[in-house]
Amino acid sequence: MRGKIIEVILDIKNDFISGEELSKGLGISRTAICKYMKTLKEEGYNIEYVNRKGYRLIEDPKDLLTYQNISHKLNTKIIGNNIIHFETIDSTNNYAKKVALQKPEGTVIISEEQTKGKGRVGRQWHSKSKDGIWMSIILKPDMIPQKATFITSIAGASIAKALNDLGVKTTIKWPNDIIINNKKVAGILTELSAEIEKINYIVLGIGINVKTMEFSQEISEIATSLYKEGHKISRVDVIRKILKEFEILYLQYINKDSKGETLDICRQYSAIIEKDVYLIKGEEKELVRCLDINQEGNLIVRTKNNIKREIISGEVSIRGIKGYV
């Protein structure tokens, strides 16, 4: 019932609706309506009541990452049809892996805070309360495990396109970092459970720094946020846009084995194609020229000996000559 009330006031935003109309439309008492409105105010919804006019939503509570806010006008087929929201959790990826077999494909796990957020290679992802977007998507594609690596490319393309469409100029540092002004604003962590020829589930973790203005000394030179770069966009708008873009590219891939649009976006927004970068593996560092991203989503580089090589995601880390990119 709470969800239905939220949908009604979101649809008539800035207009009044009387308690009597709500009561008749939803089939509950006006006393119950009053109690629900009080609860919503306590949760952060800016709801005004005027005698003989009723209730209205003064300001869209865009920063509340509830199912009702995100699903409102989302209009996706599977991605985001089920959203589980936490105030705090150790890791959305950890939780997603625990429930993946029981939850439907497209389930999104979102938390306001992560106490043990994860990045690639076991690194910690700093995830302060309400500072960013910390979410995981449960996927169950009917394909062989070897094809799962392309999901990271789909995620990167989705985030880059979504943010650029929202007016944020971002690029992709292959394979899984989203960049603004040569600093990392978002990251992707893809985890897989599979048998020899069958995927049980994929958990796609996405972390985006939104409101963070100060970073720890160890990452201050390479990390940034949307707010720090001057883009005060609501988290709900960003999430909705990413989920929509992701579903388009994901369904193209799993239903038609189509990679073209994803690869076009990855190339268009690449931060490293036609640039010299270092490939880092352990203590070894090699200077190469990035040439292209191939049909498998792997990086094609040219070594100083003029030899072309294909780099598979996860083999190496990439750093720019003068900085992160």
What pLDDT, on the 0 to 100 scale, is given for residue 206? Answer: 97
pLDDT: is 128 or 238 the higher one? Answer: 238
Which pair of tokens denotes residue 95? 């939780």
pLDDT: is 123 or 212 the higher one? Answer: 212
- pLDDT above 70 as % of the chain: 93
Q: Could you tell me if residue 282 is left (phi over 0), alpha (psi between -120 and 50 degrees) or otherwise beta? A: left
What pLDDT, on the 0 to 100 scale, is given for residue 62? Answer: 54
- Residues marked as binding? 91-93, 114, 184
What pLDDT, on the 0 to 100 scale, is given for residue 307? Answer: 97
Beta carbons of 207 and 184 less than 8 angstroms apart: no
Domain 67-268 has CATH 1.10.3720.10: no
The 10 Å Cβ neighbour count of residue 205 is: 28
Which pair of tokens denotes residue 208? 């985006």
What pLDDT, on the 0 to 100 scale, is given for residue 61? Answer: 56
Mean pLDDT of the chain: 90
Domain locations along the chain: 2-59, 67-268, 276-320
β partners of residue 171: 179
Rounded mean pLDDT, 291-314:
96
- Between 36-50, 58-72, 154-168, 234-248, the lowest mean confidence (pLDDT) is in 58-72
What pLDDT, on the 0 to 100 scale, is given for residue 132? Answer: 93
Nearest to 191 by CA among 145, 256, 248, 247: 145
Band (59; pLDDT cuts 50, 70, 90) = low
pLDDT per position as a tens digit, 96-117? 999 999 999 999 999 988 988 7
Rounded mean pLDDT, 50-69:
77
What pLDDT, on the 0 to 100 scale, is given for residue 120? Answer: 53
The reply to whether domains 2-59 and 276-320 share a CATH topology is no
| Amino acid symbol at 268 | Q
- Between 86-95, 126-135, 225-234, the lowest mean confidence (pLDDT) is in 126-135
Whole-model pTM: value is 0.83
pLDDT per position as a tens digit, 268-300? 999 999 999 999 998 899 999 999 999 999 999
Band (139; pLDDT cuts 50, 70, 90) = very high
- pLDDT > 70? residue 126: no
Determine the topology of domain 2-59 in CATH. Answer: Arc Repressor Mutant, subunit A (1.10.10)
What pLDDT, on the 0 to 100 scale, is given for residue 7? Answer: 76
Band (9; pLDDT cuts 50, 70, 90) = confident
- Between 6-20, 155-169, 225-239, the lowest mean confidence (pLDDT) is in 6-20
Q: What is the CATH number of domain 276-320?
A: 2.30.30.100
Residues 6+ apart with CB under 8 A from 170: 159, 160, 163, 164, 178, 179, 180, 185, 186, 269
pLDDT per position as a tens digit, 80-101? 999 998 889 999 999 999 999 9
- Residues marked as binding for biotin? 91-93, 114, 184
Please state at what angle helix 19-26 crosses helix 2-11, rounded to 10 degrees.
130
pLDDT per position as a tens digit, 152-189? 999 999 999 999 999 999 999 999 999 999 999 999 99
Alpha carbon distance 122, 322 (integer Å)? 25
pLDDT: is 223 or 66 the higher one? Answer: 223
- pLDDT above 90 as % of the chain: 64
pLDDT: is 230 or 1 the higher one? Answer: 230
Alpha carbon distance 119, 188 (integer Å)? 7
